[in-house]
Amino acid sequence: MKIILVGFMACGKSLIGRQLSKKIGVPFYDTDEIIEKKLGKTVNEIFIAFGENHFREIEKQCIENLKLPENFVLSVGGGLPCFNNLIYELNNLGSTIFLKVDLEEIYQRLLSSKNNRPLLINLDDKDIRSYLQELYAQRLNIYSNAQFTLDVTHMNVNQTIEHLLNNVNLLPQKDQ
Ligand code: S3P
């Protein structure tokens, strides 16, 4: 069972991924966490110290160097699939699932967590909406290359997990 969750910031990838992995009893990986551990810095600090381009390079290396077991759930940073054609790499690693959340809902969630978001931290509140609108539209094009899309705008974490588990064609068989 190889499940890879992609989607915009604040769509719930890490939370859903972690809980899904617990429920099905497979290891969970999160690229932001792996990178933070490796560098001993938060993603915010990495952006400040080295800039976004360098962070994208680190994300690429993270995916290239990942030693994944036979069964896993992997959640990747919101921007990761959108650089260096990594969405296609991810498609080769397992079943990619785009967790889609409407822009308005994303906007509301991000307004309250702006300071943990290196892409937003320097923007005035009044500019955040238009910035997100543009980024969301660009990234939707990329995320739509995932193998599956699930609209989770109106689902809580448990409902999302139930939904994923009920669509068993997403989840490869036991002996995999
Ligand atoms: C980013 C998303 C973040 C993190 C970094 C950049 C992005 O991960 O990798 O702040 O470009 O969308 P989450 O999607 O887990 O918030």
CA of residue 81 to ligand 1 center, whole Å: 11
Q: Is the pLDDT of residue 175 over 50?
A: no
Mean pLDDT of the chain: 94
| Pocket flag, ligand 1, residue 119 (CB < 6 Å) | yes
| Pocket flag, ligand 1, residue 43 (CB < 6 Å) | yes
CA of residue 176 to ligand 1 center, whole Å: 30
Q: Residue 38 corresponds to which tokens in the numbers above?
A: 């490796």
| Pocket flag, ligand 1, residue 35 (CB < 6 Å) | no
Which of 90, 92, 93 is CA-nearest to residue 81? 90
CB 100 within 8 A of CB 143: yes
Q: Render pLDDT for 16-41 as a digit per residue (tens, 0 to 9).
A: 999 999 999 999 999 999 999 999 99
Domains of the chain and any CATH numbers: 2-166 (3.40.50.300)
**Residue 168 banded pLDDT, cuts 50, 70, 90:** low
Question: Other C-beta atoms within 10 Å of 2: how many?
Answer: 18
**Residue 169 banded pLDDT, cuts 50, 70, 90:** low
Please name the residues in contact with 88: beta carbons below 8 A apart, sequence gap of 6 or more.
145
| Pocket flag, ligand 1, residue 116 (CB < 6 Å) | no
Q: Residue 56 corresponds to which tokens in the numbers above?
A: 């994208």
Q: Is the pLDDT of residue 173 over 80?
A: no
Q: Residue 161 corresponds to which tokens in the numbers above?
A: 């997990």
Q: How far apart are alpha carbons 128 and 43 in whole angstroms?
A: 20
Q: How far apart are alpha carbons 14 and 5 in whole angstroms?
A: 8
Q: Render pLDDT for 51-75 as a digit per residue (tens, 0 to 9).
A: 999 999 999 999 999 999 999 999 9
Residue 172: predicted pLDDT: 52
- State the pTM of this model: 0.94
Please state the rounded mean pLDDT for residues 101-122.
93
